[in-house]
């Protein structure tokens, strides 16, 4: 039997990460990882595809050498400030004469919710994921799928993840120029959630916060489904900049101080703690404001799980707990990975999640009930082929 492998590519502002896995029980087996300094990326948005392609090639080369195999296809993460989400509701009249609801009716109800989204919210954007959140039959909520129920009217409330079209176009162009066919594009917060969060956490209610270099992305889950994705244009680099200004030291040194890699210095610890706390509080207040807007402030029993490179900052979980009034912890490892893993921290969660999804059969890629672009009539990649040379 041919080796079943999959590749995930996470293009971040700071680094491009490539991870190659093969099918394994109970979790995928990591064959190789590779990373390279990103080029042409700002706030997670690709501004120079050529520079990004160079970084992808470099990271891919390292991963392929370790794995002993060069992948030809990959799932790619879409993140950065171009990512957002919308929840909408739509309704249809049940089609069958005996009023029994079919799968076609359920699909039409979800499509009706998509059509109800104001065009202004979708201008220059593309829907990349769809997740039905709730159905009502004749005004009454049904516990799960409405198929088989009887009624005259079916309503659907659905969750849609959108991304800027220009960003998606640049993403596909950069990866395919590196010689890799883009199998699918997946929202980075959702990819990370498959590697970091448990089903119990998603069912109870949880927010996954990925602290990147220039962005903080959050994914909120409840009853097992994603209910919000948001990206804020601030990240751990802002902490570095604040330290450099506050202590009047070079950026490189400030980065080392932030990570605790520089010891024996004479910097006043109290002042350093105050600088870091001020910026982290700002970041968590943005998340808190979003949760308040959703009506979920202080109401997510599984709390906040922190991941990404910025989650390595000391006491960040305490700051999150104080500001968000929720249980908080730093994701220390990929769910199910052994202690011998080549992944040393949770900053690889997006790449790992993407690669693991690639091993799943099309149509069962998410355990979230989220439809990926690959299941749509026209995939994102096919849609963007018209823009590529």
Residue 147's CATH number: 3.30.1490.110
Cis peptide before 157 (omega within 30 of 0): no
Which tens digit of pLDDT belongs to each residue from 49-104?
999 999 999 999 999 999 999 999 999 999 988 899 999 999 999 999 999 999 99
Rounded mean pLDDT, 110-119 = 96
Is the separation of the CB atoms in 234 and 310 below 8 Å?
Answer: no
Residue 267's CATH number: 3.30.420.40
Same-domain status, 36 and 138: no
What is the maximum alpha-carbon separation in the chain?
80
Same-domain status, 220 and 278: yes
Same-domain status, 280 and 221: yes
Which tens digit of pLDDT belongs to each residue from 161-172?
999 999 999 999
Which tens digit of pLDDT belongs to each residue from 1-51?
356 899 999 999 889 999 999 987 778 889 999 999 998 888 888 889 999
Same-domain status, 283 and 218: yes
Give me the pLDDT at residue 342, please: 57
Cα(345)–Cα(342) distance, rounded to whole angstroms? Answer: 9
Same-domain status, 208 and 323: yes
Select from 84, 83, 78, 130 the least CA-distant residue to 107: 130
Same-domain status, 246 and 145: no
Mean pLDDT of the chain: 87
Same-domain status, 148 and 264: no
Choose between 201 and 26: higher pLDDT: 201
Same-domain status, 146 and 261: no
Which tens digit of pLDDT belongs to each residue from 335-361?
444 444 556 677 899 999 999 999 875
pLDDT at 135 over 90: yes
Number of structural domains (the chain) is: 3
Cα(49)–Cα(66) distance, rounded to whole angstroms? Answer: 26
Same-domain status, 125 and 185: no
The length of the chain is: 389
Is the separation of the CB atoms in 373 and 136 below 8 Å?
Answer: no
Helix (H, G, I), strand (E, B) or coil at 301: coil
Same-domain status, 242 and 299: yes
Which are the contacts of 194, defined by CB distance < 8 A and separation ≥ 6? 353, 356, 357, 366, 367, 368
Give me the pLDDT at residue 372, please: 47
Same-domain status, 313 and 245: yes
Half-sphere exposure of 93 (CA within 13 A, CB side): 4
What's the domain range around 132?
84-163
Complete DSSP assignment for 85-154: EEEEEEEEE--STT-B--HHHHHHHHHHHHHTS-HHHHTTEEEEEEEEEEEEETTEEESS--TT-B-SEE
Rounded mean pLDDT, 215-223 = 95
Question: What is the reported pTM?
Answer: 0.87
Cα(244)–Cα(253) distance, rounded to whole angstroms? Answer: 8
């Amino acid at each position: 039997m041919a080796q079943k492998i999959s590749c995930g590519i996470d293009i971040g502002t700071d680094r491009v990460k490539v991870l190659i896995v093969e099918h394994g029980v109970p979790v995928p087996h990591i064959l190789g990882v590779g990373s390279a300094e990103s080029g042409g990326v700002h706030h997670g948005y690709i501004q120079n595809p050529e520079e990004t392609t160079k970084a992808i090639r470099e990271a891919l080369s390292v991963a392929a050498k370790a794995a002993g195999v060069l992948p030809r296809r990959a799932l790619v993460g879409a993140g950065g400030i171009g990512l957002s989400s919308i929840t909408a509701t739509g309704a249809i009249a049940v089609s069958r004469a005996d009023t029994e609801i079919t799968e076609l009716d359920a699909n039409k109800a979800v499509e009706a919710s998509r059509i109800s989204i104001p065009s202004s919210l979708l201008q220059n954007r593309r829907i990349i994921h769809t997740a039905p959140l709730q159905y009502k039959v004749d005004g009454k909520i049904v516990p799960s799928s409405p198929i088989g129920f009887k009624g005259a009217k079916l309503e659907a409330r659905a969750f849609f993840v959108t991304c800027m079209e220009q960003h998606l176009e640049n993403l596909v162009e950069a990866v395919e120029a590196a010689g890799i066919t883009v199998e699918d594009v997946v929202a980075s917060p959702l990819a990370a959630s498959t590697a970091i969060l448990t089903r119990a956490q998603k069912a109870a209610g949880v927010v996954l916060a990925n602290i990147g270099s220039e962005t903080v992305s959050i994914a909120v889950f409840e009853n097992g489904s994603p209910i919000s994705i948001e990206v804020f244009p601030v990240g751990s680099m802002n902490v570095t900049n604040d330290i450099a200004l506050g202590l009047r030291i070079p950026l490189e040194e400030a980065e080392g101080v932030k990570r605790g890699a520089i010891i024996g210095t004479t910097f006043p610890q109290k002042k350093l703690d105050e600088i870091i706390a001020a910026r982290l509080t700002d970041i968590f207040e943005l998340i808190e404001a979003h949760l308040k807007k959703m009506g979920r402030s202080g109401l997510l029993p599984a709390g906040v799980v922190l991941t990404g490179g910025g989650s390595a900052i000391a006491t960040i979980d305490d700051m999150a707990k104080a500001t968000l009034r929720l249980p908080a912890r730093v994701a220390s490892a990929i769910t199910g990975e052994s202690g011998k893993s080549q992944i040393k921290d949770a900053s690889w969660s997006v790449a790992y999640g993407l690669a693991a999804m690639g091993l799943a059969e099309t149509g069962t890629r998410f355990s979230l009930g989220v439809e990926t672009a690959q299941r749509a009539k026209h995939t994102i990649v096919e849609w963007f082929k018209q823009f590529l040379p």
